[in-house]
Amino acid sequence: MEVNEEKPVWLVLLLVIASACVGVLMGSAIGAGVAALIYEGSGNFSQAMLNPTDESLRIPLLIVQGITTVFGFLIVPYLVWNALRKKGISYFVGAGFSAASLLLVFVIVIAFAVADSAIIEWNQNIHFPEFLKSFEEWARAKEDQLAELTKMITNFQSPLEFTIALVVVAIFAGICEEFLFRGIIQTELFRGTKNIHVAIWVSAFLFSAIHAQFFGFVPRMLLGGLFGYLYYWSGNLIVPMFAHFVNNGFALTAMYLYQQKVVTTNLDTPESAPWPAVIISVGVVAIILFYFKKKFQSSNPILT
């Protein structure tokens, strides 16, 4: 008679995180190979990558990012987790939800973005003590390099470029990052600690850390925490995936509309929204989240 022994949480998390690293390397290699085939700039793709602010790299870099995201955060970690836990995708989408609930999520995410803008401005302007000055200079230089790269990638020259970015940055990231950080890591941490708040905030910390942007670390961690509670309360991973899509998709769309001079407000800045708007948004988020939790509490078996 075969005995199905439960694998310890620490082992599952270790192997899943290791597999994600392997998946990122694998996805990057595959993505670079695909991108090299469509690269139309001067010289070869490998040489061009030494100066990744070249405009001709916009679509190739988006392709690399998309393939890396799918392999690193979804395919490889899922295969390892599935082999260890013997559970399928349906495990993460057990609870039902309505389209009206997604409308609530949409409002929560937009209001949260306004409220979070105050934290974004604070985090961007943070300064370290004198003995950490060298680290601050290093972190700021890395942040500036990444900002330049992001600016190039999101300087859309056509609707096609915007569409590709929307698929990669909003759809792929929303599905794959939520699957790894909320679906697997948060679930395993909850299994091991029996404390949902620890599970949510540790996974949110890791979620923010992998983006390697210290001067955006806190607002991104808060966003990860929001996604974590939405998953826990709803019991359906599609909910935080949708929230992640709305957050990234809204930012990209606002950026594109500003570039096309459809709107006059540039949301791609670290400046906070006016304080009255921030305060109102905090209230809106709190009220809707309270309603959201109450609405799902009776139907989500995790909470009962």
Average pLDDT (201-206) is: 97
**Measured in whole angstroms, how far is the alpha carbon of residue 159 from the centre of its chain?**
23
pLDDT digits (tens, 9 = 90+) for 224-268: 999 999 999 998 999 999 999 999 999 999 999 988 888 877 777
Average pLDDT (26-36) is: 94
Residue (of 167, 235, 179, 171) closest to 207 by Cα position: 179
Average pLDDT (60-64) is: 93
pLDDT value at 8 more than 70 = yes
- Mean per-residue pLDDT of the chain: 89
Max CA separation in the chain (angstroms): 69
Highest mean pLDDT among 122-126, 229-233, 268-272: 229-233
Highest mean pLDDT among 92-101, 207-216, 295-304: 207-216
Its pTM stands at: 0.92
Give the lowest-confidence range in 32-46, 58-72, 154-168. 32-46
pLDDT value of residue 297: 66
pLDDT digits (tens, 9 = 90+) for 13-22: 999 999 999 9
pLDDT value of residue 95: 67
pLDDT value of residue 263: 82
Exposure string of 40-54, with b = 16+ CB inside 10 Å and e = fewer, is eeeeebeebbeeeeb
pLDDT value of residue 299: 54
Average pLDDT (265-274) is: 79
Phi-psi region for residue 235, left (φ > 0), alpha (ψ -120 to 50) or beta?
left
pLDDT value of residue 152: 86
- SS3 at position 163: helix
